[in-house]
Amino acid sequence: MKTLAWMLTGAAILEAGMMMALPYLSPRQMFFGVRAGAEFRGSPSGRKVLAQYWGHVFGWLVVALALLLGVGGLPAQVAGWLAMLPIVGALIGFVQAYFRVRPHALASDEVREAELAASDSGMPWWSWLALPPFVGPVVAMLYMRAHWDEIPARIAAHFAINGEPDRWVERTERTVFAPPVVCRSDVAAVAAAGGGGAGRAHDGVCACGAGVGISPELGPERADGGNTGRVPDVGRNLQQPERSEAGRVRVHDQFWECVELRSAGRVHARGDRAGGVYGVGDAGVGGPRHERAGRSARATNARV
């Protein structure tokens, strides 16, 4: 039991260290899951939030160690849960830090600027230290695969409060390999929270400079084909223009509330929602998300 306590102590310290490093394991723009800008984490406010988070994790680590080492005779299962306290504390601290950083989030300005110089990903060189918790279970799984015959046919699947197994399962790939995967899913979730969200909230508005949402696809091709005018390479489902004159075309009978017509990866026409008059050629609007190359064209709702 004493050996187990020391092992769990080491695990708790490792977990606490990893959780303390978590705020750095995200692009510099992100801090506790908030897009606060690269400079924020070095600012007094940023350092204060970080110090509070570290203090939080450290406090939970101290509690975990005190209980692990100070209280004798703890059941193995309880001791195991105690070793997880730093992670639990870090999760709570992360959420608290998120709400502290959120008021400092960069406003979603319409005008955005970026430096056009290659740099690293914003991850510190010691990011690799975060790998062992993920690599470890994989190594364990490989080891178990290599020593499959040495694994008992029945495996303890659950332990009672007194530490004695009270449920058993047969040795199958699922029962053997699922626990290592599940046991690190918590860390993966936290890592995703720290580094994820980089492109959050922008998907709806940024792929197309003017667009919000996607309107229904354009109608079927006219039987008579119409006068395609100067619109080249129109996809099969793009409604044909009724006529063209001096570089402008009118779309047959329906005035789509759209600013662009695309097909085969190109913008073929644009217009306003009032008149349904469309300029042709490379109109310079729209974004790649509205493409279905070679098969259809889509209209993008105008934001007016």
Q: Does the footprint of another protein cover residue 282 (CB under 8 A)?
A: yes
Considering only 2, 73, 115, 275, the residue that binds another protein (CB under 8 A) is: 115
- Least separation in angstroms between residue 29's CB and another protein is 5
Is residue 250 within 8 A of residue 262, CB to CB? The reply is no
Q: Does the footprint of another protein cover residue 29 (CB under 8 A)?
A: yes
Q: Does the footprint of another protein cover residue 116 (CB under 8 A)?
A: yes
- Least separation in angstroms between residue 244's CB and another protein is 12
- Least separation in angstroms between residue 211's CB and another protein is 8
Interaction residues for another protein, span 229-258 (CB under 8 A)? 247
* Interface segment toward another protein; rule CB under 8 A; list 12-20, 56-64, 103-111, 176-184: 103-111
Q: Does the footprint of another protein cover residue 288 (CB under 8 A)?
A: yes
Three-state SS sequence of 193-235? HHHCCCCCCCHHHHCCCCEEEEEEECCCCCCCCCCCCCCCCCC
Q: Report the Cα 245 to chain-centroid distance in Å.
A: 48
Residues comprising the chain, all counted: 304
Short-list 232, 254, 228, 253, CA closest to 241: 228
Place of tokens 């908030």: 34
Half-sphere exposure of 284 (CA within 13 A, CB side): 0
- Least separation in angstroms between residue 123's CB and another protein is 11
* Interface segment toward another protein; rule CB under 8 A; list 61-69, 144-152, 164-172, 195-203: 195-203
Q: Does the footprint of another protein cover residue 185 (CB under 8 A)?
A: no
Q: Does the footprint of another protein cover residue 17 (CB under 8 A)?
A: no
Considering only 18, 101, 208, 258, the residue that binds another protein (CB under 8 A) is: 208
Q: Does the footprint of another protein cover residue 107 (CB under 8 A)?
A: no
Is residue 66 within 8 A of residue 17, CB to CB? The reply is no
Half-sphere exposure of 163 (CA within 13 A, CB side): 9
Report the distance separating Cα 78 and Cα 4, nearest Å.
Answer: 12
Q: Does the footprint of another protein cover residue 113 (CB under 8 A)?
A: yes
Is residue 81 within 8 A of residue 51, CB to CB? The reply is no
Helix axes 132-146, 2-21, angle to 10 degrees: 130
- Least separation in angstroms between residue 64's CB and another protein is 35
144 Cβ contact list (under 8 Å, min separation 6): 151, 176, 177
Q: Does the footprint of another protein cover residue 163 (CB under 8 A)?
A: no
Nearer to another protein, 15 or 260 (CB): 260
Report the distance separating Cα 64 and Cα 85, nearest Å.
Answer: 6
Report the distance separating Cα 152 and Cα 150, nearest Å.
Answer: 6
Considering only 59, 75, 80, 122, the residue that binds another protein (CB under 8 A) is: 122
Place of tokens 């199958």: 172
Considering only 279, 297, 298, 299, the residue that binds another protein (CB under 8 A) is: 279
Would you tell me which residues interact with another protein (CB under 8 A)?
27, 29-30, 35, 108, 110-122, 198-199, 202-203, 205-210, 247, 259, 267, 270, 279-282, 284-289
